[in-house]
């Protein structure tokens, strides 16, 4: 059994969907589980529906119609008969979504988010499944909410591995092609949950773990894992092989091509992960596995923008010790703030955090009750794994460096524009 994951970029339009058949044809005929994300930037567009639902309800309809017309246009290009059952299926999903928004009484943003955001993945998998069924890849569509079971931490749910493994093993037929959604799951009451933005890679890894898959392949719009994000760095180099631990480090520091949680389940069972280009399915791409640490051995660059650098000091010059540090971390947890870098001295504590859940101002107000707080919003964090003096010089050039941290393998810089 192989697991293949196609992300938003690979199914952004009808040609992307058609291209999946080309990718599948290039592979051996082993049965496959295919995990698919929402088409293109649909998840962002659904976030607009959710935001309008809470803040500008008069815009909800317009935002829904926008997404509906995009999916109908793609389906129109893929299915030549207007009475194809996919059109009723698309209509039904939108009716279900509108019904939820009309009847919902919960003011809980995260809960509503998860009940609504899942339609991106439901729509894309229905369309791709129907298209593949008509094009020599007979498959079974499965609702991932019947496979992946989580707690009720909406928008960042934690997997119940025991239940999930049992559900996957009992539901998936290992001799057939299965199509399911990435990113989405369900809690014990069958309310929808999600695994965190860009979580479809993680879904593929969970399924591979539960089925003891031979490999996982994630199909991307790049040649594989590169030593730098091509959107921010010129002439990146393809990493042909990389160890699990090295890839986990890169993903943790922010190499957004792989969701950071993806590698742990794969490493546990030594399932190789291939990162490959859907434009060139025959090319080698990157293999993450047990073998070489990094091939070729080159510095790897990662940048994260839009972070916040918080500097705290005690109001009475008392030391920063375990007690107040643990108090600060409890607040990060409460406000869903992810920590990227920490530096502390006797009476001060600097921490670079992200603001994904938009809670930073609440956190700052809370901290100000106890500490002197200064902060810099919109800073960038540059990380160089296996840095060299040349690599360091290249990154520091023309930047205002606010903080620097060096370990044997890694150099990190926080810079302000
Ligand atoms: N080190 C890296 N190597 C390759 N791509 C990277 C790297 N860091 C960031 N990226 C970006 O990741 C993108 C692919 O990931 P993503 O957008 O999540 O794909 P999808 O949503 O289709 O699964 C690439 O287009 C590239 O810009
Ligand atoms: N659609 C979700 C899940 C996901 O993983 O998407 P992608 O594979 O396109 O990154 C998101 O955009 O967050």
Rounded to 5 degrees, what are φ and ψ at 193?
-135, 170
Pocket lining: 257 vs ligand 1, CB cutoff 6 Å: yes
Q: Has domain 2-220 been given CATH number 3.40.1160.10?
A: yes
* Model pLDDT for residues 204-240, shown as the tens digit of each residue: 999 999 999 999 999 999 999 999 999 999 999 999 9
Give the nearest ligand 2 atom to 9 CA. 9
- Ligand 1 near 226 CB (within 6 A): yes
* 37 pocket-lining for ligand 2 (C-beta < 6 Å): yes
Output the CA 220–ligand 1 centroid distance in Å. Answer: 7
Q: Is the pLDDT of residue 321 over 80?
A: no
Give dist(CA 261, CA 252) in Å, integer: 9
In angstroms, the CA 300 to CA 293 distance is: 13
Q: Give pLDDT tens digits for 72-116.
A: 999 999 998 989 999 999 999 999 999 999 999 999 999 999 999
Residue 7 has pLDDT above 90, yes or no: yes
Any atom of ligand 1 within 6 Å of the Cβ of 237: no
- Please give the pLDDT value at position 96: 98
285 CA → ligand 1 middle, Å: 13
Task: Report the relative pairing of strands 371-385 and 400-406 from DSSP bridges.
Answer: unpaired
Question: Closest residue (by CA) to atom 3 of ligand 2?
Answer: 198
Distance between CA atoms of 92 and 102, rounded to whole angstroms?
A: 15
Q: Which of 194, 212, 161, 186 is nearest to 3 (CA)?
A: 212
Ligand at minimal distance from the CA of 203 is: 2
For the CA of 198, the closest atom of ligand 2 is 5
Our answer on whether the CB atom of 16 is closer than 6 Å to any ligand 2 atom is no
Please give the Cα distance from 150 to 161 (Å, whole number). 8
Place of tokens 């690979």: 10
Residues 384/391, Cβ–Cβ less than 8 Å: yes
Residue 81: Cβ within 10 Å count? 8
pLDDT band at 317 (very low <50, low <70, confident <90, very high): confident
What is the pTM assigned to this prediction? 0.92
- φ, ψ of residue 13 in degrees (nearest 5): -155, -175
Question: What's the pLDDT band for 309 if we cut at 50, 70, 90?
Answer: very high
CB 39 less than 6 A from any atom of ligand 1: no
| Residue whose CA is at the smallest distance from ligand 2 atom 11 | 198
Architecture of domain 300-416: 2-Layer Sandwich (3.30)
- The total of other beta-carbon atoms located within 10 Å of residue 324's CB is 16
Instruction: Summarize pLDDT for 351-372 with one digit per residue, the tens.
Output: 999 988 889 999 999 999 989 9
Contact present, 269 and 236 (Cβ < 8 Å)? no
Determine the residue of 123, 128, 198 to mutate for testing ligand 2's pocket, defined as the one with the most ligand atoms within 8 A of the Cβ atom. 198
**Which atom of ligand 1 lies nearest, measured to the CA of 250?**
1
Does residue 288's CB lie within 6 angstroms of at least one atom of ligand 1? Answer: no
Please say whether the dihedral angle defined by the alpha carbons of residues 52, 307, 8 and 289, taken in this order, is positive or negative: negative
Q: What share of the chain is helix, strand, coil (3-state, %, to 5)?
A: 40, 25, 35
The answer, yes or no, to whether any atom of ligand 1 lies below 6 A from the CB of 198, is yes
DSSP-H helix ranges across 135-289: 161-171, 200-211, 244-253, 263-268
**Substitution site in 201, 251, 257, 276 for ligand 1 pocket (most atoms within 8 Å of beta carbon):** 257
- The domain spans of the chain are 2-220, 300-416
CB atoms within 10 A of CB 365: 10
What sections of 58-216 are H helices per DSSP? 60-78, 85-103, 109-117, 119-134, 161-171, 200-211
More confident residue, 346 or 71: 71
pLDDT tens figures, 126-165: 999 999 999 999 999 999 999 999 999 999 999 999 999 9
- Is residue 114 within 8 Å of residue 135, measured between CB atoms? no
Shortest-distance ligand to the CA of residue 238: 1
Please say if the pLDDT value at position 54 is more than 80.
Answer: yes
C-alpha 42 – ligand 2 centre gap (Å): 9
């Amino acid at each position: 059994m192989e697991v293949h994951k196609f992300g938003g970029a690979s199914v952004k339009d009808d040609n992307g969907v058609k291209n999946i058949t080309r990718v599948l044809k290039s592979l051996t005929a082993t049965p496959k589980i295919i995990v698919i994300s929402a088409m293109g930037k649909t998840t962002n567009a659904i976030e607009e529906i959710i935001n309008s639902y809470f803040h500008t309800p008069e815009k909800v309809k317009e935002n829904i119609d926008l997404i509906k017309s995009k999916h109908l246009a793609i389906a129109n290009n893929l299915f030549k008969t207007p009475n194809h059952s996919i059109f009723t299926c698309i209509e039904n999903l939108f009716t279900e979504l509108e019904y939820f928004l009309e009847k919902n009484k919960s003011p809980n943003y995260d809960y509503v988010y998860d009940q609504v955001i899942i339609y991106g993945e439901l729509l894309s998998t229905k369309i791709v499944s129907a298209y593949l069924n008509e094009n020599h890849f007979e498959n079974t569509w499965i609702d991932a909410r019947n496979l992946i079971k989580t707690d009720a931490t909406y928008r960042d749910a934690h997997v119940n591995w025991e239940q999930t493994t049992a559900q996957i093993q009992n539901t998936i037929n290992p001799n057939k092609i299965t199509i399911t959604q990435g990113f989405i799951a369900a809690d014990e009451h069958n309310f929808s949950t999600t695994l965190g933005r860009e979580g479809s890679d993680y879904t593929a890894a969970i399924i591979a773990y539960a089925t003891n898959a031979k490999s996982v392949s994630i199909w991307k719009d790049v040649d594989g894992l590169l030593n730098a994000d091509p959107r921010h760095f010129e002439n990146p180099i393809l990493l042909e092989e990389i160890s699990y631990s090295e890839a986990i480090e890169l993903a943790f520091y922010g190499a957004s091509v792989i969701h950071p949680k993806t590698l742990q389940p794969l490493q546990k069972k030594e399932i190789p992960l291939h990162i490959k280009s859907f434009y060139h399915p025959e090319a080698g791409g990157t293999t993450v596995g047990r073998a070489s640490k990094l091939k070729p051995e080159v510095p790897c660059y990662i940048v994260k923008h839009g972070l916040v650098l918080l500097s705290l000091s005690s109001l009475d010059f008392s030391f920063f010790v375990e007690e107040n540090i643990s108090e600060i971390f409890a607040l990060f947890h409460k406000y869903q703030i992810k920590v990227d870098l920490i530096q502390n001295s006797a009476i001060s504590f600097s921490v670079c955090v992200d603001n994904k859940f938009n809670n930073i101002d609440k956190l700052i107000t809370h901290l100000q009750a106890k500490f002197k707080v200064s902060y810099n919003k919109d800073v960038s964090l540059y990380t160089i794994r296996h840095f060299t003096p040349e690599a360091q010089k290249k990154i520091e050039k023309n930047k205002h460096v606010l903080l620097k941290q060096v370990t044997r393998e890694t150099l990190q810089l926080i810079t302000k524009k």
